[in-house]
Amino acid sequence: MTESLRVVVADDQALVRTGFKLILMSEGIEVVAEADNGAAAVEAVRRTRPDVVLMDVRMPEMDGLEATRRIVTGDADAPRVIILTTFDLDQYVYAAISAGASGFLLKDVSPEHLAAAVRLVRVGDAMLAPAITRRLVERFARPDPVGASIHRDLAALTPRELEVMGLLARGLSNAELAGRLFLSEATVKTHVARILAKLGLRDRAQVVVVAYESGLVSPGGDHANGPG
């Protein structure tokens, strides 16, 4: 018996919405609403309270970035947002992740990958292609603790948590982190959960952004070992 999973699809192209809806329905995932612009997406989310939103970036009236910000800001029970884009390096995708999206997918994603992504973010993981996300951050992030879009004080983190955060930002999975740090995957998950809780972040996508924008990790280099 599969658990109910409710999705809103927001895209200004009817053909894209229909295609995604058919794919998700064939995988037993319910599409509870469609929206052709950002404002309609925000309203659809308020009305239907979905688990996940598939959000296009460029839409009329309100773009996907502003819609994402309005959906996730100040709502602990907000749905996870997956940004849809035709580009794998797009400053708007980076900005959307900064605004609270859980990651992004290219619009030519395979049906299997689309369904898997929706299920993945529903349980709290970020839907990232780590290498692509790192390239996004390296291209667009600017280490600036004062002006960072999701600035957080890292002083609350232990040295081990800082180490885990730095490796997360470099795209390592839980299994790879466990191998690198000689820890169990369960312990790694605990460290990640504590990082999210201490910094008030939603998921790994925001951890990556904060790691770069705070200067913990330098674009093109390893993570820092601490101040000085």
Domains of the chain: 6-127 (3.40.50.2300), 146-213 (1.10.10.10)
At 188, list the tokens.
Answer: 């790694």
As a whole number of Å, the end-to-end CA separation of the chain is 54
Task: List, for residues 183-195, the tens digit of each pLDDT value.
Answer: 998 999 899 989 9
Q: Which helix (H) or strand (E) holds 30?
A: strand 30-35
Q: How far is the CA of 50 from the CAs of 5, 68, 71, 85, 207, in angstroms?
A: 8, 14, 11, 21, 24
30-35 and 80-85 strand pairing: unpaired
Please report which confidence band the pLDDT of residue 146 belongs to, taking 50, 70 and 90 as the band edges: very low
What pLDDT shows up at residue 170?
79
52-56 and 104-106 strand pairing: unpaired
Rounded-to-integer distance, Cα 46 and Cα 93, Å = 23
One-letter identity of residue 176: E
pLDDT, greater one: 46 or 101: 46
Angle between helices 204-213 and 159-169 (to 10 degrees): 100
Task: List, for residues 57-103, the tens digit of each pLDDT value.
Answer: 889 889 898 999 999 887 778 899 998 887 665 666 677 777 788 87
Q: Where are the alpha helices (DSSP H) in the chain?
A: 14-26, 38-48, 64-72, 91-99, 111-122, 130-140, 159-169, 174-181, 185-199, 204-213
Is residue 213's pLDDT more than 60? yes
- C-alpha dihedral sign at 27, 28, 29, 32: positive
Which residues, in sequence order, are bridge partners of residue 35? Answer: 10
Please report which confidence band the pLDDT of residue 26 belongs to, taking 50, 70 and 90 as the band edges: very high
DSSP state of 152: -
Backbone phi and psi for residue 138, each to the nearest 5 degrees, phi listed first: -65, -30
Rounded-to-integer distance, Cα 190 and Cα 174, Å = 11
